[in-house]
Amino acid sequence: MDEYTPNTTGTVAVLDSSDEEMIASVATLLGPKFNLPKAGIIRPGIMRLKKGVSAGDEAVYKQMVADGATWDDIDKRLGKDGSNKSKLTPQNADYFSIRPRDCSDPRNVDLIHQLYADKSDGKLRSLPVWFPVNEWWNIIPHSLRCFGTNGIKYKSSFREHRNGKVDVVRVCEYPLELKVGQRVFGGRQWGERPCDPNTCPEYQKGDCKFGGTIQFYIPGVKGMGVWVLPTTSWYSLVRIKSALEAVSGMTGGRLARLFVGGKTPFILRKIYDEISTIDTKTGQPVRRSQWLIVLDIEIDMFELAQAYEERQVLSRGQRATGMLTGTPPNRSERAALSSGPLASGMVETSVEEVETQGAATTAQDGDFTPITEETEEEITRKTIIERITRAWADGSLKMPDKHDLKEKHPKKVEEMTLDELSAFETDIIGVIMDKRKNSEGARKTEDGKLV
């Protein structure tokens, strides 16, 4: 599909028509558009010749398919039929297809098949993917669009209007005619008109159709470019959007660079499923089966949720420690807390972490730091501080309680003596015990200590 190019003069939103929220992009001279180089196109099926074509067309088709030509090149070579339409028609299949001429590096076709194709017949039915961005609408850009002989004629987009409240309006964009000799900044300029498929002649004739692409990286394939998988299946993109939102809801919005045990959990595959459509001849719903593209995740969803819950607990603990000690987290800690899961098998390393690890390795190689045993008092101090920090972070204490406690014990915990720490813990227990009288969910205590 032609990718959506926003105006560079104002705030723009790209949303599904069913969404009620507005995600605004910052306007710049380069535009807010996410646009990485394209590594190649993976097709959801194949194109076959329509019935009634000539023997010459069949020979051209077979030869170009054998040569690895793109379906677009084959379509152009064959030309139009008597109704001025393509001689090719899409044929859904239970596998994906990649043509060498659809790739910036044709060698990647053999590499991807070698890595992920079924060993029995060499067909590519599933492949692991990972995403460079978090926003689902950048992972699966989509629109209604109508193509002409010179490219795209119309495409849908969304605009935000503020008249006392925020309204998201779908509009139809069309390329404006250029004046001879006029230089245009920012590429092709677009006009707007209301978009109403129910009354749109192009949509009713079937010339304007829904379509989108899935954008991703493939593990084991080198290069900056993203792979794109175009589809006109509303049902496939709705399911993929739902899968992305389900994972995003568990990871605090994280979809990019999400790895489990050093591997991506996401996998694209084909499934044969039944869908419901409207028969335009009868106006009645009918059910039919077809191959759909789905995004699956090869990890126990409970494990994923648990991993990110542990990250949130760690994040609260780090913030609590900073409040108690008066020391904000450093850049590496902030990156670690904000970038993703820090639990079993979840692997995410920021630039700051790499730099920190390198510095630590250098220091270990060049400096000798003797190991000293902790005294009993130091161990006791550390244990009390850990209990205080947990109580401070787990929600047992509300902000007014924390304010009163810090007024009574203004020192940083690291500067407190053992007696002062014990007094601080005792006062925390007192506050929690008072709350226990009114709530069953208060923190437990044993022998005058926090548990």
pLDDT digits (tens, 9 = 90+) for 179-216: 787 787 777 788 899 899 999 998 988 889 898 999 99
Q: Would 227 be classed as within a structural domain?
A: yes
Q: Is the pLDDT of residue 295 over 90?
A: yes
Residue-number span of the structural domain to which 221 is assigned: 12-177+185-233
Return the pLDDT at 229: 93
* Other Cβ atoms closer than 10 A to 336: 22
Most confident of 156-170, 375-389, 436-450: 375-389
- What are the start-end ranges of the E strands in 176-283? 190-194, 208-216, 226-231, 266-279
Q: What's the CA gap between 401 and 387, in Å, rounded? A: 17
Chain Cα centroid distance, residue 422:
47
Q: What is the pLDDT of residue 226?
A: 92
CB-based contacts of 439: which residues, under 8 Å, 6+ apart?
Answer: none
Within a domain: residue 79?
Answer: yes
Token readout for 380 is: 């006791």
Residue 245 inside a domain? The answer is: no
In a domain, 93, yes or no: yes
Question: For 63-80, what is the mean pLDDT?
Answer: 85
Decide which of 168, 202, 233 is a domain's last residue. Answer: 233
337 within some domain:
no
Q: What percent of the chain has pLDDT over 70?
A: 72
pLDDT (tens digit, 9 = 90+) per residue, 303-355?
A: 777 766 655 555 555 555 555 555 555 554 444 444 443 333 333 323 222 23
Closest by CA to 319, choosing from 298, 302, 306, 336, is: 336
Checking if the pLDDT of 230 tops 70, the result is: yes
User: Would 74 be classed as within a structural domain?
Assistant: yes
* Strand duo 38-41 + 226-231: pairing: parallel
Give the mean pLDDT of 375-403: 80
3-state secondary structure 405-448: HHHHCCCCHHHCCHHHHHHHHHHHHHHHHHHHCCCCCCCCEECC
pLDDT at 363: 32
Average model confidence (pLDDT) for the chain? Answer: 75
Which pLDDT score, from 0 to 100, does residue 65 have? 85
140 inside domain: yes
Residue 350 lies in a domain: no
Q: How many domains does the chain have?
A: 2
Checking if the pLDDT of 408 tops 60, the result is yes
210, 233, 256: which is the final residue of a domain? 233
Q: What is the pLDDT of residue 250?
A: 83
Tell me which of 233, 250, 273 is where a domain ends.
Answer: 233
Spatial distance between the Cα atoms of 13 and 401, rounded to a whole number of angstroms: 43
CA trace torsion 387, 389, 392, 394 (10° rounding): -80
- Among 18-32, 60-74, 275-289, 436-450, the range scoring the smallest mean pLDDT is 18-32
Based on C-alpha coordinates, what's the Rg of the chain? Answer: 30
Identify which has the larger pLDDT, 384 or 308.
384
- Does the model's pTM come out above 0.85? no
Q: Which two tokens stand for residue 363?
A: 């220091």
